[in-house]
Amino acid sequence: MTTVAPVGAARRWGSAAVLSASLLVVTMDLTILNIALPDLAGDLRPSSEGLLWVVDAYSLVLAGLLVSMSALGDRIGRRRLLLAGYALFGLASAGALFASTTGEVIAVRALLGVGGAMIMPTTLSLIRAVFTDPRERATALGLWAAVSGIGAGVGPIVGGVLLESFSWRAAFLVNVPLMVVASVAAAAVLPESRVPSPGRWDAAGTVQTLVGMAALMWAVKRFAKEQSPAVPEAVVAVVVGVGLLAWFVVRCLRRPDPLLDVRLFARRPFTAGVVAALGSTFAMAAAFLLLAQWIQVVDGAGPVRTGLRLLPAAVAGTVASLLGTWLAARVGARIVLAGGLAVAGLGMVALVVTPSGPAAGHVTVALSLIGAGVGSLAVASAMIMSGTPDDRAGSAAAIEETAYDLGNVLGVAVLGSVAAILYTNGLRSALPDLDPAVASAAEGSVGAATALAVERGLPDLAAAAGAAFTDALRATGLIGGVVMLAIAVVVHAVTPKGTDITAPH
- Using pLDDT thresholds of 50, 70 and 90, give the confidence band for residue 48: low
Q: Is the pLDDT reported for residue 286 higher than 80? A: no
| Non-local CB neighbours of 71 within 8 Å, separated by 6+ positions | 198, 201, 202, 206, 259, 260, 394, 395, 398
Predicted confidence (pLDDT) at residue 29 exceeds the cutoff of 80: no
Please give the full DSSP string across 181-217, using - where no structure is assigned.
Answer: HHHHHHHHHPPP-B-S---S--HHHHHHHHHHHHHHH
* Angstrom distances, CA of residue 217 to CA of 27, 159, 291, 313, 357: 19, 27, 23, 27, 32
Average pLDDT for 337-341? 93
- How confident is the model over 149-164, as pLDDT tens digits? 676 667 767 777 777 7
DSSP H helices in 294-392? 303-331, 333-352, 363-374, 377-386
**Best-predicted range by mean pLDDT among 303-317, 430-444, 458-472?**
458-472
Residue 294 Cα to chain centre, angstroms = 20
The pLDDT assigned to 244 comes to: 93
**Residue 91: which pLDDT band, with cuts at 50, 70 and 90?**
very high
Averaged pLDDT, 114-128: 88
**Weakest-pLDDT range from 171-175, 351-355, 385-389:** 351-355
3 by DSSP, 3-state: which?
strand
**Res. 465 pLDDT band, cuts 50 70 90:** confident
- Report the pLDDT value the prediction gives residue 1, as an integer from 0 to 100: 47
Distance between CA atoms of residues 325 and 329, nearest Å? 6
Pick the CATH number of 6-192 from 3.40.50.150, 1.20.1250.20, 3.30.70.1400, 3.40.50.970: 1.20.1250.20
pLDDT of 491 reads 94
Question: Is 191 a residue whose pLDDT tops 90?
Answer: no
Q: How confident is the model at residue 374 (pLDDT cuts 50, 70, 90)?
A: confident
φ, ψ of residue 194 in degrees (nearest 5): -155, 165
Listing DSSP states for 282-321 in one string gives HHHHHHHHHHHHIIIIIS---HHHHHHHHHHHHHHHHHHH
More confident residue, 336 or 27: 336
At 357 the pLDDT is: 54
Above 80 in pLDDT, residue 226? no
Residue of higher predicted confidence among 490 and 374: 490
Q: In this structure, what DSSP letter does residue 495 have?
A: S
The percentage of residues in the chain with a pLDDT greater than 70, rounded to a whole number, is 92
Query: What pLDDT, on a 0 to 100 scale, did the predictor assign at position 361?
Result: 60
Residue 129 has pLDDT above 60, yes or no: yes
The whole-number pLDDT of residue 427 equals 84
Q: pLDDT band for 409, please (50, 70, 90 cuts).
A: confident
pLDDT for the residue 360:
47
pLDDT of residue 384: 86
Domain boundary assignment for the chain: 6-192, 202-258, 264-505
136 pLDDT band, cuts 50/70/90, is: confident
CB 427 within 8 A of CB 472: no
Residue 30 pLDDT exceeds 70: no
pLDDT band, residue 4 (cuts 50/70/90) = low
Mean pLDDT of all residues belonging to the chain: 82
Q: Cβ(406)–Cβ(416) under 8 Å?
A: no
Is it the case that residue 118 has pLDDT exceeding 70?
Answer: yes
Give the residue, 143 or 269, on which the prediction is more confident.
Answer: 269
**For position 296, what pLDDT does the model report?**
73
Q: Go through 347-383 and write b for each residue having 16 or more CB atoms within 10 A of its CB, e for each that does not.
A: bbbbbbeeeebbeeeebeebbbbbbbbbbbbbbbbbb
- Say how far apart CA 110 and CA 104 lie, in whole Å: 10
pLDDT on residue 338: 93
Q: Between these two residues, 239 and 143, which has the higher pLDDT value? A: 239
Architecture (CATH level 2) of domain 264-505: Up-down Bundle (1.20)
- Mean pLDDT within 495-505: 76
Distances in Å between the Cα of 368 and the Cα atoms of 27, 145, 351 are 20, 16, 10
The confidence score (pLDDT) of residue 275 equals: 93
What pLDDT is attached to residue 424?
84
User: Comparing 6-192 with 264-505, is the CATH topology the same?
Assistant: yes
Which pLDDT belongs to residue 3?
52
